[in-house]
Amino acid sequence: MAISWPLVVSLLLSISSLATSASNSDSVHEAFVQCLLDNSHPSHPISEAIFTPQSPSYATVLQSYIRNLRFNETYTPKPFLILTALHQSHIQAAIICAKKGNIQMKIRSGGHDYDGLSYVATVPFFVLDMFNLRSIDIDMETETVWVQSGAILGELYYRISELSKTHGFPAGVCPTVGVGGHFTGGGYGNMMRKYGLTVDNIVDAYFIDVNGRIHDRKSMGEDLFWAIRGGGAASFGVVLAYKIKLVRVPEIVTVFRVEKTLEDNATDIVDQWQHVASKLPKELFVRLVIDVVNSSTRIGGSTVRVSFISLFLGDSKTLVSIMNENLPLLGLSQSDCIETSWIRSVLFWTNITIDSPTDVLLNRTPSLSYLKRKSDYVKQPIPKTALEGIWEKMIELQPAQMIFNPYGGRMAEIASTATPFPHRAGNLWKIQYLANWNQGGAETAQRYIELTRKLHRYMTPFVSKNPREAFLNYRDIDLGVNHNDRGSYLEGRVYGIKYFKGNFNRLVHIKTKVDPTNFFRNEQSIPTLPH
Residues involved in catalysis: 474
- How far apart CA 324 and CA 316 sit, in angstroms, is 12
Residue 112: C-alpha distances to residues 66, 116, 164, 173, 520 (Å): 7, 8, 28, 13, 19
CA distance 275 to 233: 36
Report the candidate in 206, 192, 202 with the shortest Cα–Cα distance to residue 245: 202
Contact 500, 480 (CB under 8 A): no
> How many angstroms separate the CA atoms of 157 and 359, rounded?
10
Contacts of 21 (CB under 8 A, 6+ apart): none
**Residue 387 CB coordination number (10 Å):** 18
Contact assessment for residue 507 and residue 524, using Cβ atoms and an 8 Å cutoff: no
Q: Is the dihedral of CA 335, 271, 411, 321 positive or negative?
A: negative
**347 vs 175: CA distance, rounded Å:** 9
Distance CA 352, CA 340 (A): 14
Rounded to 5 degrees, what are φ and ψ at 238?
Answer: -120, 120
Q: What is the dihedral of CA 29, 68, 484, 223, to 10 degrees?
A: -110
> How would you classify the pairing of strands 125-129 and 81-84?
parallel
User: How far does CA 300 lie from the centroid of its chain?
Assistant: 36
